């Protein structure tokens, strides 16, 4: 069940009545999206929304199919920093890539690209699913630095959240999309 609030004519605010996970929130947002470009924005106030504009520009200028914001992780707690770096290292090794921040919140792409990924994950593993499927289809990911202020109060991410992410990386290693990238329209 999704409730919505309207506080601006061009913005639809959606939220689940009960917590269902980041992946469920992304999928709900996708179902309601009507624009050309999709931006994932976490609700935990760690990111500066003004960083979205340069990421969108990378897509609009056709510098890449997808843009990721890269955080400076030096201010993160050691165990979280290690987890983020390990997960990024692992996905790069599994997929022969060299991205810098797989677990970043800011993932920006055209809506047709996002919809072609056939997302299934309902929790934090959505980050790994999106990235693995982008790699499998062959999309180009551009990265640019973003502002980042980690928060620790009421942080829901736990060390064990990395296990489903690893499983997701392995599970989709041989995934084949039902939509061929060459058929996706680029205006």
DSSP states of 5-74: EEEETTEEEEEESS---HHHHHHHHHHH--SSEEE---SSS-B-GGGHHHHHHHHHTTS-SEEEEE--GG
- pTM to 2 decimal places: 0.87
Does residue 180 carry a pLDDT above 70?
Answer: no
Instruction: Give the residue extent of every domain in the chain.
Output: 38-179
**Residue 21: band (very low, low, confident or very high) from pLDDT cuts 50, 70, 90:** confident
Question: Across residues 78-99, what is the average pLDDT?
Answer: 94
Question: For all residues of the chain together, what is the average pLDDT?
Answer: 87
pLDDT tens digit string along 101-147?
999 999 999 999 999 999 999 888 999 999 999 999 999 899 999 99
Give which of 150, 161, 70 is closest to 108, Cα–Cα: 70
Mean pLDDT score, 54-66? 93
DSSP 8-state secondary structure symbol assigned to residue 161: G
Judge whether 116 and 137 are in contact, CB under 8 Å: yes
DSSP 83: H
Q: What is the pLDDT of residue 183?
A: 46
Backbone angles phi, psi at 34, to 5 degrees: -125, -10
Q: pLDDT tens for residues 144-177?
A: 999 998 887 766 667 788 899 999 999 999 888 7
Residues facing residue 109 across a β-bridge: 38, 66
Q: Which helix (H) or strand (E) holds 173?
A: none
Instruction: Give the pLDDT confidence score for residue 6 in this predicted structure.
Output: 56
The pLDDT of residue 181: 53
């Amino acid at each position: 069940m999704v409730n919505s609030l309207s506080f601006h004519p061009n913005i639809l605010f959606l939220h689940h009545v009960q917590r269902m996970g980041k992946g469920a929130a992304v999928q709900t947002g996708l179902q309601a999206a009507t624009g050309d470009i999709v931006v994932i924005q976490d609700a935990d106030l760690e990111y500066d929304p003004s960083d979205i504009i340069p990421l969108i520009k990378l897509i609009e200028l056709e510098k890449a199919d997808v843009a990721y914001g890269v955080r400076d992780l030096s201010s993160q707690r050691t165990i979280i920093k290690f987890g983020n770096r390990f997960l990024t290292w692992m996905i790069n090794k599994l997929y022969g890539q060299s991205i810098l921040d797989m677990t970043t919140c800011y993932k920006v792409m055209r809506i047709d690209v996002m919809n072609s990924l056939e997302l299934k994950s309902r929790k934090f593993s959505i980050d790994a699913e999106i990235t693995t499927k982008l790699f499998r289809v062959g999309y180009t990911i551009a990265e640019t630095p973003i502002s980042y202020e980690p928060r620790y109060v009421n942080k829901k991410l736990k060390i064990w959240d990395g296990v489903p992410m690893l499983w997701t990386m392995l599970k989709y290693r041989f995934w084949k999309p039902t939509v061929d990238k060459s058929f996706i329209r680029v205006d």
